[in-house]
Amino acid sequence: MEPENLTNLSRTIIQFYEKLFSWENAVAKNSGLTPQQYHTIEIVGSEGPIRMKPLAEKLSVTTGTLTVMIDRLQKAGYVTRQNDPQDGRAYYSVLTDKGQESYREHQEHHKALVENITGTLAEAESAQLITILNKINDLF
């Protein structure tokens, strides 16, 4: 790729990231949660009951950092802990009814965002976007 195209692509990716990050922050702020707490609820909601280590890996945080966040989410009524029947030392993070409601609300925000984005694209462009984003996601 030509250096000028690389520079333009870099700027475009950064601009997209900044806009998406701002959108996520606004959604989280309106919920009273931090973006990281909202993202935790998102993962637990989509994965179902999940142990701490895989959840920490998905969030790219240490288990110590995650423990503090789960403690706060539990105190606020969004998650609960369930013991792992196979390993008494481990437990799963599970959404409460309040956490499920927050997860559903966040899904609605995501749906609106996607509809907004795809509303500006032709059907073929939407399909291309999915293909391109999947290739990018596979890199990480």
Q: Give dist(CA 112, CA 86) in Å, integer.
A: 40
pLDDT (0 to 100) of residue 47: 93
Task: Centre a 10 Å sphere on the Cβ of residue 89 and count the other Cβ atoms it contains.
Answer: 6
Q: Give dist(CA 41, CA 77) in Å, integer.
A: 12
Per-residue pLDDT of the chain (140 residues; tens, 9 = 90+): 788 888 999 999 999 999 998 988 888 887 888 889 999 999 999 999 999 999 999 999 999 999 999 999 999 999 999 988 888 788 899 999 999 999 999 999 999 999 999 999 999 999 999 999 999 999 98
Q: Give dist(CA 1, CA 47) in Å, integer.
A: 38
Sorted by where each starts, the structural domains of the chain and their CATH numbers stand as 36-139 (1.10.10.10)
